[in-house]
């Protein structure tokens, strides 16, 4: 009888603590939103190192900046014929998926189980890929979205057409980018909500990219969890199928779509204030480290972008705060020790 009473009262006090924690995390989100709104700074020309540091890097706020890439040979020069001449039969890595979602949580139609699924990666000559971007029929969406500094490796022949860094941004941070990536896709491909441990300078060269973004403080709202992993493979009949990987490895991810949230599945998302920003040809988005982002794209001849990833400042309060929030939300609120133990510097990109 006494034991029973103790168990009940422990459960009651645990529920009270969780309730208080929910309220505190909601208050944190609201206070941040009240102080910052959903405003995005816009610069008509590139700022100085001091301006970008003061206005955006230090407070961790995004910005859209015009005029950063006007002087790049790429700005006018990356025509289809130039790209075909310069890259020609260079082998590139292309992400292929049935639904246009590379790196996303997907239900396996066979088992009904949810997996974090990575794309089928196919090597193909650039000119074959370009034909697909220009409208050649392909059953599956194709996206040239290899990261790991793809512009300096597979697309090295194009490096001469862009700057090796964003000079005023490098000056503001006191370091050069860790990676420069080349992205080429079409509206069939979308990048699901995720975050990266990088300061991101994302320049659109062709078409438009629409980012739906959330500040790191809104982590509470996204219902992150961990999922077993799988990858797409091409079967003998030329069809993509899902192939589960080592079940002991799980990846942290969220299934929330910030543009069409399912509030029954993700009730905490009601507290989020997603910001949608379209970045057009010739503009650059500065997306601070750990901002969550979902990305769609549109353009009649595909969408091309170049981004510079700068390592974040690990001495600032941001990195331990992001880890702390995850431990609090996943470990204490959701009893998900597996997720609470993950390190935020080791995210899926």
Ligand X SMILES: O=C(O)CCC(=O)C(=O)O
The least distance separating ligand X from the CB of residue 307, rounded to whole angstroms, comes to 5
The number of angstroms, rounded, from the C-alpha of 284 to the middle of its chain's C-alpha atoms is 16
The least distance separating ligand X from the CB of residue 191, rounded to whole angstroms, comes to 4
Asked whether 304 and 78 are in contact (CB, 8 A), the reply is: yes
The least distance separating ligand X from the CB of residue 189, rounded to whole angstroms, comes to 7
For ligand X, the binding residues (CB under 6 A) are: 183, 191, 196, 200, 202, 209, 293, 295, 305, 307
Which residue's CB is nearer to ligand X, number 78 or number 202? 202
Which of left, alpha, beta for 290 (phi over 0: left; psi -120 to 50: alpha)? Answer: left
| Residue spans of beta strands (DSSP E) within the chain | 41-43, 63-66, 91-96, 101-102, 104-107, 114-118, 120-125, 142-143, 179-185, 190-194, 198-206, 208-214, 225-234, 240-244, 250-253, 275-280, 283-287, 292-298, 303-311
Which residue's CB is nearer to ligand X, number 219 or number 340? 219
The least distance separating ligand X from the CB of residue 147, rounded to whole angstroms, comes to 8
Token pair 């790049």 is at which residue?
72
- Tokens at 88, concatenated: 């020609």
Which residue's CB is nearer to ligand X, number 145 or number 336? 145
Which residue's CB is nearer to ligand X, number 151 or number 295? 295
| CB count in 10 Å sphere of residue 281 | 17
Residue nearest ligand X by beta-carbon distance: 191
Which residue's CB is nearer to ligand X, number 146 or number 330? 146
The least distance separating ligand X from the CB of residue 349, rounded to whole angstroms, comes to 6
R_g (Cα) of the chain, nearest Å: 22
| CB count in 10 Å sphere of residue 47 | 21
The least distance separating ligand X from the CB of residue 296, rounded to whole angstroms, comes to 8
The least distance separating ligand X from the CB of residue 293, rounded to whole angstroms, comes to 6
Which residue's CB is nearer to ligand X, number 51 or number 349? 349
3-state helix, strand and coil shares in percent for the chain, rounded to the nearest 5 = 30, 30, 35
| CB count in 10 Å sphere of residue 190 | 21
Which residue's CB is nearer to ligand X, number 57 or number 340? 57
């Amino acid at each position: 009888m006494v034991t029973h009473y103790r168990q009940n009262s422990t459960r009651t006090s645990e529920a009270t603590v969780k309730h208080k924690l929910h309220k505190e995390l909601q208050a944190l989100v609201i206070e941040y939103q009240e102080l910052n709104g959903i405003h995005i700074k816009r610069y008509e020309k590139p700022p100085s190192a001091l301006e970008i540091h003061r206005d955006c890097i230090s407070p961790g706020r995004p910005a859209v900046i015009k005029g950063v890439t006007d002087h790049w040979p790429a700005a006018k020069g990356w025509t289809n014929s130039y790209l075909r001449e310069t890259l020609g039969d260079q082998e590139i890595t292309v992400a292929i998926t049935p639904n246009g979602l590379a790196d996303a949580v997907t239900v396996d139609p066979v088992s009904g189980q949810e997996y974090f699924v990575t794309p089928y990666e196919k090597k193909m000559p650039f000119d074959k890929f370009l034909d697909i971007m220009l409208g050649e029929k392909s059953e599956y969406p194709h996206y040239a979205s290899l990261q790991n500094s793809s512009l300096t490796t597979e697309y090295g022949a194009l490096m001469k057409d862009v700057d090796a860094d964003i000079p005023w941004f490098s000056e503001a941070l006191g370091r050069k980018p860790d990676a420069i990536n080349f992205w080429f896709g079409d509206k069939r491909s979308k990048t699901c909500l995720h975050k990266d441990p990088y300061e991101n300078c994302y320049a659109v060269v062709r078409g438009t990219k629409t980012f739906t973004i959330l500040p790191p403080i809104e982590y509470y709202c996204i219902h992150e969890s961990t999922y077993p992993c799988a990858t797409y493979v091409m079967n003998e009949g030329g069809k993509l199928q899902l192939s589960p990987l080592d079940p002991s490895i799980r990846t942290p991810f969220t299934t929330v779509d910030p543009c069409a949230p399912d509030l029954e599945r993700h009730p905490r998302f009601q507290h989020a204030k997603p910001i949608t920003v379209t970045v057009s040809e010739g503009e650059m988005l500065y997306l601070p480290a750990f901002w969550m982002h979902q990305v769609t794209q549109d353009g009649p001849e595909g969408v091309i972008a170049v981004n510079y990833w700068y390592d974040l400042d690990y001495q600032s309060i941001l990195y331990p705060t992001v880890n702390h929030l995850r431990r609090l939300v996943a470990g204490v609120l959701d009893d998900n020790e597996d997720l609470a133990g993950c390190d935020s510097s080791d995210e899926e990109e």
